[in-house]
Copies of this chain bind each other. A is one copy, B any other.
Amino acid sequence: MPVIDCEIGEGTHVWHPDLVNLYGCTIGRNCNIGAFVEIGPNVTIGDNVRIGSGAFIPEGVEIGNNVFIGPKVAFANDKYPPSGRAEWTQWKTVVEDGVSIGVGARILPSVILGACCQIGAGAVVTRSVPAGATWVGIPAQLLRRSDGYCAEVPQ
């Protein structure tokens, strides 16, 4: 069963443990993890997080509470991915509480997705996104500012 050395909180469902690749990660409570998902070592995921089918979350990513990671969403695992022989660089990407990432979006490394921001389907996020804002496109740009309401952060 390809769920290896992970800490998984109470109430969390990995719907198809034989069709995922989870190793060395920490997942909170009441999460839903779809099929064909890969989560790498040292990734931490909060509570009440939904991770759609086929999402890819490699080492270096930290995810808060109440987050939606759409199907096929992928985080890059290097800014300048080397070909075969080179070493790759460590980086850190943070997804704050209440963020929603649309289907098939790509998130480049070393960005912060601010609390409750929304990333459109298929967007490519190349820099940090402010809390509450909606960003779409390639490269992702502002579509709508926050309406000031974000249940996940103090008002």
Contact = CB atoms under 8 A, between A and B. Distances in A.
A33 B139 CA distance: 28
B121 A124 contact: yes
Interface string A105-137: 010100000001010111110100000000011
Nearest to A124: B122
Question: How many chain copies?
Answer: 3
Given A66-B85, A85-B66, A98-B83, A16 B2 contact: yes
Interface residues of A, number: 57
A142 interface: no
Q: Which of A2, A52, A106: most chain B CB closer than 10 A? A: A106
Nearest to A121: B106
Nearest to A30: B84
Interface of A: 2, 16, 19, 21, 30-31, 34-36, 38, 47-50, 52-54, 56, 58, 65-68, 70-72, 74-77, 80-85, 98-100, 102-104, 106, 108, 116, 118, 120-124, 126, 136-139, 152
